[in-house]
Amino acid sequence: MERTFGFAVARAYAGHDGKAGGTTATYVKSDVLEVAAALSILTAEPHPLVSNVNKHVRAIDSV
Protein backbone atom coordinates (compact mmCIF):
# COMPACT_ATOMS: atom_id res chain seq x y z
CA MET A 1 0.00 0.00 0.00
CA GLU A 2 2.68 2.49 1.00
CA ARG A 3 4.83 1.88 -2.06
CA THR A 4 1.99 2.73 -4.43
CA PHE A 5 -0.12 5.27 -2.53
CA GLY A 6 2.28 6.80 -0.01
CA PHE A 7 2.85 6.75 3.72
CA ALA A 8 -0.20 8.80 4.71
CA VAL A 9 -2.68 6.65 2.75
CA ALA A 10 -1.11 3.41 4.00
CA ARG A 11 -1.26 4.65 7.58
CA ALA A 12 -4.91 5.67 7.31
CA TYR A 13 -5.82 2.44 5.50
CA ALA A 14 -4.32 0.43 8.34
CA GLY A 15 -6.33 2.45 10.84
CA HIS A 16 -3.37 4.05 12.59
CA ASP A 17 -3.89 7.45 14.15
CA GLY A 18 -2.26 9.63 16.74
CA LYS A 19 1.34 10.74 16.91
CA ALA A 20 2.92 7.36 17.62
CA GLY A 21 4.08 7.24 13.98
CA GLY A 22 6.91 9.68 14.55
CA THR A 23 7.66 13.00 12.93
CA THR A 24 6.50 12.02 9.45
CA ALA A 25 3.02 11.11 10.72
CA THR A 26 2.76 14.58 12.22
CA TYR A 27 3.19 16.29 8.84
CA VAL A 28 1.43 13.99 6.37
CA LYS A 29 -2.29 13.30 6.46
CA SER A 30 -4.70 11.36 4.30
CA ASP A 31 -8.44 11.77 4.06
CA VAL A 32 -11.15 9.18 3.61
CA LEU A 33 -11.46 9.89 -0.13
CA GLU A 34 -7.79 9.05 -0.74
CA VAL A 35 -8.16 5.80 1.19
CA ALA A 36 -11.38 4.95 -0.70
CA ALA A 37 -9.63 5.59 -4.04
CA ALA A 38 -6.69 3.38 -3.03
CA LEU A 39 -9.04 0.58 -1.98
CA SER A 40 -10.97 0.90 -5.23
CA ILE A 41 -7.78 0.68 -7.27
CA LEU A 42 -6.42 -2.27 -5.31
CA THR A 43 -9.63 -4.28 -5.60
CA ALA A 44 -10.58 -3.09 -9.12
CA GLU A 45 -14.07 -2.49 -7.72
CA PRO A 46 -16.04 0.76 -7.61
CA HIS A 47 -16.34 2.54 -4.28
CA PRO A 48 -19.34 4.75 -3.50
CA LEU A 49 -17.16 7.61 -2.26
CA VAL A 50 -15.02 7.73 -5.39
CA SER A 51 -16.78 9.01 -8.47
CA ASN A 52 -13.96 8.75 -11.02
CA VAL A 53 -11.35 6.17 -10.09
CA ASN A 54 -10.07 6.09 -13.70
CA LYS A 55 -8.32 9.40 -13.03
CA HIS A 56 -6.44 7.77 -10.16
CA VAL A 57 -5.62 4.63 -12.12
CA ARG A 58 -4.02 6.67 -14.91
CA ALA A 59 -1.92 8.52 -12.35
CA ILE A 60 -0.69 5.23 -10.85
CA ASP A 61 -0.03 3.67 -14.27
CA SER A 62 2.17 6.59 -15.27
CA VAL A 63 4.53 6.02 -12.30
Q: What is the DSSP string of 4-55?
A: HH-HHHHHHHTT--SSTT-HHHHH----HHHHHHHHHHHHT---TT-S-HHH
What does the pLDDT look like over 15-54, one tens digit per residue? 877 667 677 777 778 888 889 999 888 888 888 888 766 5
Which pLDDT score, from 0 to 100, does residue 43 have?
Answer: 87
Question: Left (φ > 0), alpha (ψ -120 to 50) or beta: where does 29 sit?
Answer: beta
Structure confidence at residue 13 as a pLDDT band (50, 70, 90): confident
Which pLDDT score, from 0 to 100, does residue 60 have?
Answer: 54
- The answer to whether the CB of 24 falls within 8 A of the CB of 13 is no
- What's 62's DSSP letter? T
Q: Is the pLDDT of residue 63 over 60?
A: no
Which pLDDT score, from 0 to 100, does residue 30 have?
Answer: 84
Report the alpha-carbon distance of residue 42 to residue 50 in Å, rounded: 13
Domain ranges within the chain, ordered by starting residue: 2-61
